[in-house]
A and B are shown apart, each in its own frame.
Chain A
Amino acid sequence: MEKPHNLTVRQALTALKNGSLSSEELTRACLTQIERLEGTVHAFITLTAEKALENARAADARRMAARRHPDEPLPPLLGLPIAVKDLLTLSGVRCTCGSRILENFIPPFTATAVQRLLDAGVVIVGKTNTDEFAMGSSTENSAFGVTFNPWDTRRVPGGSSGGSAAAVAARMIPAALGTDTGGSVRQPAAFCGVTGIKPTYGRVSRYGLMAYGSSLDTVGVLARSAEDAAILFWPMAGFDPLDATTMEQPAADWQPPSPEMLRGLRIGVPKEYFLPGMQPEVEEKVRAAIQTLADLGAAVQEISLPHTEYALPVYYLIAPAEASANLARYDGVRFGYRAEAETLSELFNRSRSEGFGAEVKRRIMLGTYALSAGYYEAYYGQAQKVRTLIRQDFEQAFQQVDVIAAPVTPTTAFRIGEHRDDPLAMYLEDVFTLPTNLAGVPGLAFPVGFDRQELPIGMQLMAPHFQEEILFSIAHLYQQHTRWHLHAPLLI
């Protein structure tokens, strides 16, 4: 058998069920791998090793007890270790959001998405690194240090769910939760060679997710295959009375599809997602992957999403505007960092200035400006109108095709520090992932090859609202025919 920490979610669950592996052994193997590589990768902000082992033993005891009552169903993920991005709360465990301002914040409640997975039996080993409040594309903006890409530690893992992506790629954990406001699951998945799902807006509750851009924020999963991501995804999905944006869409009972499913499936390839300046190998590998799907029976056609070029300016007005409102709560009064101050207004100003990092301040400033008197219509108002046009692009495209296939990023992982002094260049990294969030449609990223420097290349599939199922199915069939998702970085 594979070493336990190398097992996929599917393999691990099979081994746990048939008794060939205990949750304690599996959890210990993951913790050992974390201990071995954390100094090199730095994927975590907080580890909860003791608690994880305790919960793993409890899961084993429960499974043992159930042997005497074989008719009583056990939770489907009982004993499976996972990691959680440090932007989602777990009651009693500090939640920093990658920020000094929440360095000592211990949430008294658990995020619904996390709770649903706990109810399904998972064991949480720790909280993964993130750009501060999810604002970034490289995990360099964390107050707790950079995460390094396991494929090349001179490079970024992507962001903002870079800790989760790196941990999964480095075989520290079979799967991890991430969040995606403008590409924060899919872009690190692409940079780290793993599979990541960004669900439909409103499909997974955001209760307990620290708000960044409320009209865009989603909770997703990163894992080593589409099947693994699907196994964790469905238990999280569905209506939650604690998040008014969640919809009463029933969660699908997703099963690996038959290959017939690809016959005649209409895949659209948007010409706007292949830019002259992009890395040629990215285009080459993505087109090859689309050809593979065509060889398996899909009908591929070129389509147009004409307003794609405006997604970046629309996003970088709307998301900061929402962030500037959401982050007003960090004022040093009720929780979080408080600076020494003589007056209340000085307390607000100093706590925020000392607690927030540069990128968070930049976005708060940008959003405040876009919402301020005299500029609201020209910036925020116009951005929300162009957002309507971007949504309509998708609606029209989905009248012609079932799914859309495109690159996740214009390049493979860039070097640490490469965009340090140029925020606009960093924002341009998100050019292919932002439109999905603006339209609220689901997207799934998965590896389709490597460039000449052995860095992973990702492709994303996008589908109409609430059709995550088809994304998992297509990516799963692709992964049945290819081996890109099985490659592992040398350092493991």
Chain B
Amino acid sequence: MSLTLAEVEHIAHLARLQLSEEEKIRFREQLSAILEYAARLQQVDTRDIPPTSSVLPPRSRLREDEPHAPFSRDKILANAPNSHQGYFRVPPVLE
């Protein structure tokens, strides 16, 4: 299992990561080695084996629908890198 540089670039785009040329080469090599190791899973016969969705017995419960005080806007915005009049401020979405 060997990834191409184009695949590495595609994955980086999906993950919203901007990689340097050096990182692309290194990740290509390292991810290829890891995926090659993971390929041994293909040897396991999993016909009729359901995938694990939870390690605990499934159960759902309802909670009381009681109103409670949310975090204040000021508290939330205190960690914002940039805010304006109570909103998160970002650069233009569209050119």
Determine the chain A residues whose CB is within 8 A of the CB of B14 once the complex forms: 368, 372
Q: B41 near A386 (CB under 8 angstroms)?
A: yes
Q: Which among B46, B71, B82 is the interface contact of A385 at CB below 8 angstroms?
A: B46
Choose among A341, A368, A381 the residue with the greatest number of B CB atoms under 10 Å from its CB.
Answer: A368
Q: Which among B79, B91, B92, B95 is the interface contact of A335 at CB below 8 angstroms?
A: B79
Interface residues in B1-54 by Cβ distance below 8 A to A read 3, 7-8, 11-12, 14-19, 23, 27, 30-31, 33-35, 37-38, 40-42, 44, 46, 49-54
With contacts A349-B16, A364-B15, A381-B51 taken as known, whether A316 is within 8 angstroms of B91 at the C-beta atoms is no
Q: B44 near A202 (CB under 8 angstroms)?
A: no
Q: A424 near B34 (CB under 8 angstroms)?
A: yes
Determine the chain B residues whose CB is within 8 A of the CB of A383 once the complex forms: 38, 41
Q: B17 near A313 (CB under 8 angstroms)?
A: no
A447 at the interface (CB under 8 A from B): no
Q: Which among A350, A362, A439 is the interface contact of B30 at CB below 8 angstroms?
A: A362
Q: Which among B11, B55, B78, B91 is the interface contact of A344 at CB below 8 angstroms?
A: B91
Determine the chain A residues whose CB is within 8 A of the CB of B55 once the complex forms: 201-202, 215, 391, 438-440, 465
Q: A108 near B51 (CB under 8 angstroms)?
A: no
Separation in Å of the A7 CB from the closest CB of chain B? 37
Q: Which among B12, B80, B91 is the interface contact of A365 at CB below 8 angstroms?
A: B12
A143 at the interface (CB under 8 A from B): no
Determine the chain B residues whose CB is within 8 A of the CB of A388 once the complex forms: 46, 49-52
Q: Which among B34, B79, B93 is the interface contact of A334 at CB below 8 angstroms?
A: B79
Q: A368 near B81 (CB under 8 angstroms)?
A: no
Q: B90 near A333 (CB under 8 angstroms)?
A: yes
Q: Which among A310, A342, A369, A379 is the interface contact of B40 at CB below 8 angstroms?
A: A310
Determine the chain B residues whose CB is within 8 A of the CB of A350 once the complex forms: 18
Determine the chain A residues whose CB is within 8 A of the CB of B8 once the complex forms: 365
Q: A365 near B31 (CB under 8 angstroms)?
A: yes
Choose among B38, B79, B90, B93 the residue with the greatest number of A CB atoms under 10 Å from its CB.
Answer: B38
Q: How far apart sit A331 and B55, CA to CA, in the bound complex (Å)? A: 30
Q: How far apart sit A343 and B18, CA to CA, in the bound complex (Å)? A: 14
Nearest CB in chain A to that of B59: its residue: A247
B69 at the interface (CB under 8 A from A): no
Q: How far apart sit A440 and B56, CA to CA, in the bound complex (Å)? A: 8
With contacts A335-B79, A423-B30 taken as known, whether A385 is within 8 angstroms of B51 at the C-beta atoms is yes
Q: B56 near A465 (CB under 8 angstroms)?
A: yes
Separation in Å of the A227 CB from the closest CB of chain B? 28
B63 at the interface (CB under 8 A from A): yes
| Count of residues in B whose CB is under 8 Å from the partner chain | 48
Separation in Å of the B2 CB from the closest CB of chain A? 13
With contacts A108-B75, A385-B49 taken as known, whether A353 is within 8 angstroms of B17 at the C-beta atoms is yes
With contacts A310-B44, A332-B81, A347-B91 taken as known, whether A366 is within 8 angstroms of B31 at the C-beta atoms is yes
Q: B31 near A385 (CB under 8 angstroms)?
A: no
With contacts A333-B90, A334-B88, A391-B55 taken as known, whether A352 is within 8 angstroms of B44 at the C-beta atoms is no
Separation in Å of the A320 CB from the closest CB of chain B? 9
With contacts A317-B38, A338-B81 taken as known, whether A333 is within 8 angstroms of B50 at the C-beta atoms is no
With contacts A369-B11, A369-B31, A386-B41 taken as known, whether A361 is within 8 angstroms of B23 at the C-beta atoms is yes
Q: A108 near B78 (CB under 8 angstroms)?
A: yes
Q: A202 near B19 (CB under 8 angstroms)?
A: no
Proximity string of chain A (367-403) to chain B, C-beta cutoff 8 Å, 1 when within and 0 when not? 0110010000011011111111101000000000000
Nearest CB in chain B to that of A245: its residue: B56
Determine the chain A residues whose CB is within 8 A of the CB of B30 once the complex forms: 362, 423-424
Q: A391 near B52 (CB under 8 angstroms)?
A: yes
Separation in Å of the A250 CB from the closest CB of chain B? 16
Interface residues in B67-95 by Cβ distance below 8 A to A read 71, 75-76, 78-82, 88, 90-93, 95
Q: How far apart sit A439 and B52, CA to CA, in the bound complex (Å)? A: 10
Separation in Å of the A202 CB from the closest CB of chain B? 5
Choose among A328, A331, A347 the residue with the greatest number of B CB atoms under 10 Å from its CB.
Answer: A347
Q: How far apart sit A344 and B53, CA to CA, in the bound complex (Å)? A: 35
Determine the chain B residues whose CB is within 8 A of the CB of A356 once the complex forms: 17
Q: How far apart sit A254 and B42, CA to CA, in the bound complex (Å)? A: 44
Proximity string of chain A (312-343) to chain B, C-beta cutoff 8 Å, 1 when within and 0 when not? 11101100000010001001111111100111
A348 at the interface (CB under 8 A from B): yes
Determine the chain B residues whose CB is within 8 A of the CB of A369 once the complex forms: 3, 7, 11, 31, 35
A106 at the interface (CB under 8 A from B): yes
Known: A309-B40, A365-B8. 9 other contacts (CB 8 A): A109-B71, A245-B56, A312-B37, A334-B79, A336-B81, A344-B92, A365-B31, A368-B14, A386-B44
- 7 closest Cβ pairs, A-B complex: A440-B55, A384-B51, A338-B81, A335-B79, A385-B46, A313-B38, A349-B18
Give the interface of B toward A (CB within 8 A): 3, 7-8, 11-12, 14-19, 23, 27, 30-31, 33-35, 37-38, 40-42, 44, 46, 49-56, 63, 71, 75-76, 78-82, 88, 90-93, 95
Q: List 17 A-B contacts (CB under 8 A).
A: A215-B54, A310-B40, A332-B81, A333-B80, A333-B81, A334-B88, A336-B81, A337-B81, A341-B91, A344-B91, A352-B15, A352-B17, A362-B27, A362-B30, A388-B50, A391-B55, A423-B34
